Amino acid sequence: MHNNVSKKILVIGSGPIVIGQAAEFDYAGTQGCLSLKEEGYFVILVNPNPATIMTDKNIADTVYMEPLTEDFVKWIISKEKPWGLLATLGGQTALNLAVKLHKSGILDKYNVTVLGTPISSIIASEDREVFRQEMLKIGQPIPKSFTVNSVSQALDLIEKKQLNLPVVIRPSYTLGGLGGGIVSTLKDLEIILKRGLELSPISQCLLEQSIQGFKEVEYEIMRDCSGNTISVCNMENIDPVGVHTGDSMVVAPSLTLTNKQFNMLRTASINIINHFGIIGGCNVQLALDTKTDEYYVIEINPRVSRSSALASKATGYPIAKVSSKLAVNKLLKDIIYNSKNPNVSAALEPAIDYIVTKIPRFAFDKFKSEESSLGTQMQATGETMAMGRTFEESFLKSLRGIENEYKFIWAEKYEKLSVSKLLKLIEKPNAYLFYQIIAILQKDETQLNKINHITKINTFFLNKFLNIIKILKNIKTDNLTKEILFKLKKYGISDYAIAKITNKTEQEIFHLRKQMNVLPVYKIVDTCAAEFKAATPYFYSTYSQENESIVSKKKKIIIVGSGPIRIGQGVEFDYSTVHCIWAIQKLGYEAIIINNNPETVSTDYSVGDKLYFEPLTFEDVMNIINHEQPEGIILQFGGQTALNLSQTLKQENIKILGTSLEAINISEDRKLFAEKMNEIEVLTPPSYSTSDFNELENLATKIGYPIMVRPSYVIGGKSMEIIESPKDLKTYLSRHSFGDEIKTLLVDRYVLGIEAEIDAVSDGTNIFIPGVMEHIEKAGIHSGDSTAVYPTYSLSEKVLKEMCKITLKICKSLKVIGLINIQFIIWQEKIYVLEINLRSSRTIPFLSKATNINIVELATKVIMGHRLKEFKLPLLHKPKDNRYFIKAPVFSFIKLWKVADALLGPEMKSTGEAIGIDRTLEKALYKALLSAHIDVLRHHSIAISVNRKLWPNLLKTVLILSQLGYKIYATKDTSLFLTKNKIPNEIIHKIGEKNNIIDLIKKTNLSFIVNIPGNKSKNREDYKVIRSKAIEKNIAVISSIDLFEKIAVLCHQMKYLIKEI
């Protein structure tokens, strides 16, 4: 083989996390980079997402955290002159960018070879019409479609049976399929088609055979450059066609297909990817009409994907790793991907001997929305996966890891409703369909066929749901014999559920089981269903006979991961978890990881010494502790999910390493926290907590408005709001129904100062602060949605020193061991501590990248007993070079438009983050925003509507932009104010009038929109319409006056003047 080291490969990452493109690309990217390095290549990576393992220096050879735009990547190419480009690891973002680089001739100019699937195939598979034509060419069925210009034409098609009802009507040239719909009767066809023809500017509609309700099946296919193919895994969506696969409950392998159906679809998938000449992994989605066995091709994704990550975890076959090797022309049969299973080459189709269930995690609970309907656009933020040997076990294990607002299968909200109401609800696919089905079956088992008829969910799954209910009905307090318990566990009934029914505690059930020896065994995920001997250290629990997880004699530590990704608890925690695992291994211990998120690096079995793919509940974690008998357990890197286990584990005398539970309790209980801070003379904003919601008003008056209200023990500031008056308080209480879980509400004085935060490592006596970050936005916007700057830019040395002092004080008094995150507010020369988190924080990966310090490793060493003194570190690390590092939040509003409002506040809304690095703050900010898909230098117009309180701050900023030649559009009041101050502007009229915001957005290329309503603004609804219209058109909405100010300065420094002489 030639000398590969001289061969550089550029890998494009997927950028910041948004819905539909999440942690799975860190998992794939990390594997891919390592896999190429293994083959001797020099890997250059571009990815501006700081919260990723793949951008660590030990993964790729050279890492650029620059924006994923044509320009920036072009500059990198011109500097690095890579031989090859691998674009199939970075999701749609990387594919699109590769196509752009190809089309603009950059790849040709610099002689860069596209590795893996040829660019022409990528283009052909991405363009719907080209794809259609290609499918027709090779005789693969796609839904039939016809264009019509009249109703009679349509009726004719139906009559001649060229098209059968139901039919999808898509009016031509209307945005987002406006005016279309699915019709199942001739009458509806006439009505909707008539309207569609009217709406279409060319009076034309596309009629397409509807495949909604068909069985949705996916295949993950691998193909090498010689045309050898295998199917890694197939998956069946429990939710039929119509719901995005990312939003569907999914099982692997497919369960309800016969061998012939299975292989018919497998053959189709292979034929398709052969036709496109795919090299690497490819996802094929198919729809099967279970009445006729006819199938249709939905789409293909010629790259690694969320589904491929799921398939990798479901089978133990690392698709990204193998794909990367295929991209450099290795053959499937020559690849051994798992050194612990050397009998198996990548050419063996994985065999599964368990049932895998994936359940999506949604953000609807967070947005308190009644609207939770699902469709063809993905809305889930994350997912859990579980394995079991019965469907019930697999499904219920996955469900109990989901951590949504419901416990187990019970949703009181739906149990309260009548069967007829529920039957109405399930007509529309929605995020709570499962709970609604359970509620119906609990009331009336005979509705099963009707549910099948309405939802088209296969009766196999419905029968299983019913079986769960039947099993539960038979649980009685006095009959928990060994045999019954075993059977309950075999069918996945959680200790929590048994406890609830029998009026016991989860712990009591655990002990009862332990006493009766009803304990799970652990089985290996070996990719070959035990056909060959394999020692893959990848396990799942089940209730069966043989235990394959052999406990080693080494000292071992269990590390608990952070579960499904949700807003507020994202991939940042997986980053920390992975670094903790590595640190534990370096310290000579066996690192055992428990996690249930298939998208992540931490659930790659090659990361730790042992992976238990299990839910993160007391029951499942205790089972593993009981089996492994570790030295201790580390919870502080797995976010709130892991930390929430401390209480119950402590009661079982499990050694929780790091900061004590007492300290954690203080940090999480506002009252105790305030007392403690008071005791050590640290300022906190006046605050109270109360479990009597009627008392709130008095407390608010005592503190003085504005106040901040939120429930205790929540992730990411859920249900947190700033309230300015008693009236607002009443509205707040009426809008939130706090269930059993929320016992206490917290009330704080809302302090509008500069926000800053510190992440520090503490050994209880000494601390090390890797860095202080300053937020551009003033207090009031959740820290996760703020733009953080490292190093700080406006804080004085004195303030920094004082902050360090406070941090030391807190760490000493709470005996913090490990990580601490402190949020500060600097207001009127005083430093307040807003909150502390005694765990890894969201900013750890960002700060690690910015300082080039492995903060988690250091923290882990301290947790394991090392003293900070040993490392001879200063109290505060001084920034090494004169660069600014900026972390910008990234939002997925375009996916969540139905439920989320783009207005920022104390409740976190961002799904990811981007990093921008440069010598000046402005350049760094520009890059960070660009990576967050906001190009503020693009176009020359902005639209402003700002509440009057902020007008004084606004003037200076608008003037800068105006002088730069920006055209300023402003809503009525703001416009009058600007005019009065001699800033030329154009008025935006109210909606309903001419030249309103909707017209403006349609006709004008806006750089961005500044939209900051006052709390009491009468026209809040108008503001909201502006935001939602902006989201639809993908225009950035700035809702912080501070950020607007910084952007204006940025534009001033970076924008060229385009003006006649």
Partner 1 sequence: MLETSKYDAQIILESGQFFFANYFGYKKITICELVFNTAVCGYQEALTDPSYFKQGLVFTFPLIGIYGINNKDNESNKIQASALIIENLENDFSNNHACESLNSFLLKNKVPGIHNIDTRYLTKIIRENGSLKAIIAPIEEDKNELLNLLQKSILNHHVEELNIEKHKTHEVYDRNKTLIVYDFGCKENILNYFKKENFHLYCVNHHTKYEEIKKIPHCGIFLSNGPGDPTELKAFIEQLKLMIDNGEKLIGICLGHQLISLALGLKIQKLKFGHHSINHPVINLKENKVLITSQNHNYVTSEENWNPQVEVTYRSVNDGTIEGIRHISKKIMSVQFHPEANPGPYEAEYVFNEFKELLNA
Which one of 109, 416, 533, 949 is in contact with partner 1 (CB under 8 A)?
Answer: 533
Which one of 351, 587, 672, 955 is in contact with partner 1 (CB under 8 A)?
Answer: 351
Given the rule CB under 8 A, which of 140-148, 287-295, 307-315, 599-607 is the region that contacts partner 1? 287-295
User: Nearest Cα to 598, choosing from 349, 286, 356?
Assistant: 356
Instruction: State the chain's maximal CA–CA distance in angstroms.
Output: 92
Choice between 396 and 742, CB closer to partner 1: 396
Least CB distance from residue 491 to partner 1, whole Å? Answer: 9
The C-alpha torsion from 998 through 1004 and 1007 to 1013, rounded to 10°, is: -30
Which one of 100, 144, 275, 333 is in contact with partner 1 (CB under 8 A)?
Answer: 333
Which one of 162, 474, 647, 765 is in contact with partner 1 (CB under 8 A)?
Answer: 474
User: Can you tell me whether residue 687 is helix, strand or coil?
Assistant: strand
Given the rule CB under 8 A, which of 25-33, 129-137, 149-157, 459-467 is the region that contacts partner 1? 459-467
Which one of 214, 262, 317, 790 is in contact with partner 1 (CB under 8 A)?
Answer: 262
Strands 1008-1012 vs 788-790: parallel, antiparallel or unpaired: unpaired
Least CB distance from residue 597 to partner 1, whole Å? Answer: 24
Q: Is 477 in the site for partner 1 (CB under 8 A)?
A: no
Cα–Cα distance measured from residue 237 to residue 265, given in angstroms and rounded to the nearest whole number: 14
Choice between 293 and 444, CB closer to partner 1: 293
Least CB distance from residue 131 to partner 1, whole Å? Answer: 23
Least CB distance from residue 338 to partner 1, whole Å? Answer: 14
Which one of 152, 164, 267, 979 is in contact with partner 1 (CB under 8 A)?
Answer: 267
Contact between 310 and 148 under an 8 Å Cβ cutoff? The reply is no
- Ordered DSSP codes for 992-1008: TBTTBHHHHHHHS--SE
Site for partner 1 in 480-509 (CB under 8 A): 481, 483-484, 487-488
Site for partner 1 in 139-168 (CB under 8 A): none
DSSP state letter for 738 = -
What is the per-residue burial (b if ≥16 Cβ within 10 Å, else e) of 146-185?
bebeebeebeebeeeeebeebbbbbbbeeeeeebbbbbee
Site for partner 1 in 184-243 (CB under 8 A): 226-231
Measured CA angle at 373 (ends 367, 376), to 5 deg? 115
Question: Helix, strand, coil proportions of the chain in percent (round to 5)?
Answer: 40, 20, 40
Which one of 458, 502, 585, 953 is in contact with partner 1 (CB under 8 A)?
Answer: 458
Which one of 256, 502, 660, 1028 is in contact with partner 1 (CB under 8 A)?
Answer: 256
Number of amino acids touching partner 1 (CB under 8 A): 65
Least CB distance from residue 547 to partner 1, whole Å? Answer: 9
DSSP state letter for 1056 = P
Given the rule CB under 8 A, which of 55-63, 455-463, 631-639, 789-797 is the region that contacts partner 1? 455-463
Least CB distance from residue 505 to partner 1, whole Å? Answer: 22
Choice between 541 and 843, CB closer to partner 1: 541
Given the rule CB under 8 A, which of 76-84, 260-268, 308-316, 571-579 is the region that contacts partner 1? 260-268
Q: Is 349 in the site for partner 1 (CB under 8 A)?
A: yes
Q: Is 979 in the site for partner 1 (CB under 8 A)?
A: no
Which one of 101, 107, 192, 270 is in contact with partner 1 (CB under 8 A)?
Answer: 270
Q: Is 329 in the site for partner 1 (CB under 8 A)?
A: no
Based on C-alpha coordinates, what's the Rg of the chain?
29
Least CB distance from residue 277 to partner 1, whole Å? Answer: 15
Site string for partner 1, 543-572 (x = CB under 8 A): -xxx--------------------------
Contact between 73 and 97 under an 8 Å Cβ cutoff? The reply is yes
Site for partner 1 in 354-383 (CB under 8 A): 354-355
What is the per-residue burial (b if ≥16 Cβ within 10 Å, else e) of 1029-1046?
bbbeeebbbbbbbbbbbb
Cα–Cα distance measured from residue 121 to residue 115, given in angstroms and rounded to the nearest whole number: 12
Contact between 1007 and 1044 under an 8 Å Cβ cutoff? The reply is no
Q: Is 459 in the site for partner 1 (CB under 8 A)?
A: yes
Q: Is 258 in the site for partner 1 (CB under 8 A)?
A: yes
Given the rule CB under 8 A, which of 150-158, 353-361, 412-420, 820-828 is the region that contacts partner 1? 353-361
- Helices 855-863 and 572-586, axial angle in degrees (round to 10): 50
Least CB distance from residue 388 to partner 1, whole Å? Answer: 8
Which one of 99, 151, 199, 348 is in contact with partner 1 (CB under 8 A)?
Answer: 348
Q: Is 467 in the site for partner 1 (CB under 8 A)?
A: yes
Q: How many CA atoms lie within 13 A of 372 on its CB side?
A: 21
Which one of 106, 265, 344, 439 is in contact with partner 1 (CB under 8 A)?
Answer: 344
User: Nearest Cα to 39, choosing from 64, 8, 12?
Assistant: 8
Task: Mention every residue, 6+ apart, whose C-beta is less than 8 A from residue 608.
Answer: 537, 559, 581, 585, 591, 592, 593, 602
Least CB distance from residue 500 to partner 1, whole Å? Answer: 17
Least CB distance from residue 259 to partner 1, whole Å? Answer: 4
Cα–Cα distance measured from residue 792 to residue 784, given in angstroms and rounded to the nearest whole number: 17
In 883-982, alpha helices (H): 921-931, 951-963, 972-980
Measured CA angle at 844 (ends 843, 848), to 5 deg? 115
Which one of 107, 352, 814, 864 is in contact with partner 1 (CB under 8 A)?
Answer: 352
Q: Read off the amino acid at residue 967.
A: K
Q: Is 266 in the site for partner 1 (CB under 8 A)?
A: yes
The structure tokens listed for 480 are 């928990």
Query: What's phi and psi for 913, nearest 5 deg?
Result: -150, 155
Cα–Cα distance measured from residue 537 to residue 525, given in angstroms and rounded to the nearest whole number: 8
Which one of 57, 103, 453, 470 is in contact with partner 1 (CB under 8 A)?
Answer: 470
Binding region for partner 1 (CB under 8 A): 226-231, 253-260, 262-263, 266-267, 270, 290-291, 293, 331-333, 343-345, 347-355, 389-391, 458-460, 463-464, 467, 470-471, 474-475, 481, 483-484, 487-488, 523, 528-533, 544-546
